[in-house]
A = this chain, B = another copy of it.
Amino acid sequence: MGTRGIQTAVVGVGGYAGMELSRLLLHHPRLKGVAPVFAGRPEAAGLSAGSPMALTAIHPRLMDNNGSAGLVVEPFSWELFASRGVEVLFLATPHEQSREWVPEALERGIRVIDLSGAWRLNDSSNRTVYKFEDEGSGAAVAVQAKSVYGMPELHRDEIREAALIANPGCYATSIILALKPLIEKGWVNLERGIVCDSKSGVSGAGKAPTAKTHFMYAADNLSAYGVFGHRHTGELLEQLHLAPEQIIFTPHLLPIPRGILSTIYVGFNQSMRPEQIQSCFDDFYKDSPMVRVFRDGELPQIQYSAYTNFCDIGFQLSKDGKRCVIVSCLDNLLKGAAGQAVQNLNLMYGWNEAEGLV
């Protein structure tokens, strides 16, 4: 129990992932009595005057009668973290911001769990949507080399030792976990092409009020976006070792607050039996407490995993055994963001992977 008392910090508390992360850390059994340092970008609304804000003024949901009342969000500064002895820094910030801050954090000996897309891709040619100014610089290459893709089910051992965790994208998590076991077996016909039709709740679009996050835009509606060009595509290619023409990923905006469902279509090189697919998933995830494999053609639904840190996976095979529909669901703010970040924290400190998450 010498591991109690780890001092964490959360930057970017104002967003939805930041809120969930704050909630999880405040209730984490291993962090009792050590509230995170909460910080925001100095230019963030309410912090621009340089003075701290009450956490519960930003997120009334976090109110309770015994603790959160006194918590404040302070403007980001390295001095703040140094004076509090921060060991682990969670960045729930835009990727440009994470890109800037991570190198210094590592230099200062602070471990980082970055929820943005800043350090997820080893091959920058997969970064088709956003580019960074420091791309290709020696410093950036060195930091990227230290970065571990924070998906415990694939990289558990590296996460334990990592100085920098690139926490995966929400869509990417739902797709990679559904495909990895089958692709690894060599069963999937990659020539035929994999189709990933994903649907996400509006919290995935961020907290900034925009035309597309307006209630009147999203409600009673469904819309596809980012067709052939979503920025999570690079993660799919790297983690699944695919070429761009082998996979199509189309995200859609669902009229619900949270949750992702990905419907994934694969063809097989030969006719498969359901038991083979079932065993493949069961075996792959037998030691992964946060993945629930469904059986007997039962398929996950968004509401089963919403408000949990589980990723649910089910499948249905065609009669001829040559085509398969895989359905994968998760909560985009938990397993798709803050929950997976805490899962990584647990691994980094040798705790039970699911602690504080169930």
Contacts and interface: CB of A to CB of B under 8 A. Distances in A.
Nearest to A57: B298
Main secondary structure of the interface of A (DSSP, over half): loop
B215 A202 contact: yes
Interface string A296-316: 011111111111101000001
A69 to B, nearest CB: 10
Contacts of A66: 289, 354
Contact of A64 (B197, B221, B292): B292
A301 to B, nearest CB: 4
Interface stretch (A172-180, A205-213, A339-347): A205-213
A20 B112 CA distance: 36
B203 A216 contact: yes
Contact of A221 (B220, B224, B302): B302
A219 B215 contact: yes
Contact of A303 (B65, B220, B310, B317): B220
Nearest to A210: B209
Count copies of this chain in the complex: 4
Nearest to A221: B303
Given A209-B209, A222-B261, A223-B302, A216 B197 contact: no
Contacts of A106: none
Contact count band on A: 35 or more
A27 interface: yes
A187 interface: no
A197 B299 contact: no
A327 B220 contact: no
A305 B63 CA distance: 10
A291 to B, nearest CB: 8
A227 interface: yes
A182 interface: no
A181 B61 CA distance: 24
Q: Residue among A209, A216, A259 with the most chain B CB within 10 A?
A: A216
Interface string A31-75: 000000000000000000000000000001101111000000000
Q: Residue among A66, A215, A257 with the most chain B CB within 10 A?
A: A215
A226 to B, nearest CB: 10
Given A213-B215, A219-B219, A220-B220, A228 B289 contact: no
Contact of A263 (B16, B197, B257, B318): B197
A248 B209 contact: no
B257 A216 contact: yes
Nearest to A298: B60
A248 B320 CA distance: 13
Given A197-B197, A209-B210, A325-B228, A292 B65 contact: yes
A224 B310 CA distance: 18
A297 B229 CA distance: 12
A72 to B, nearest CB: 17
A103 interface: no
B358 A222 contact: no
Nearest to A211: B209
A221 B256 contact: yes
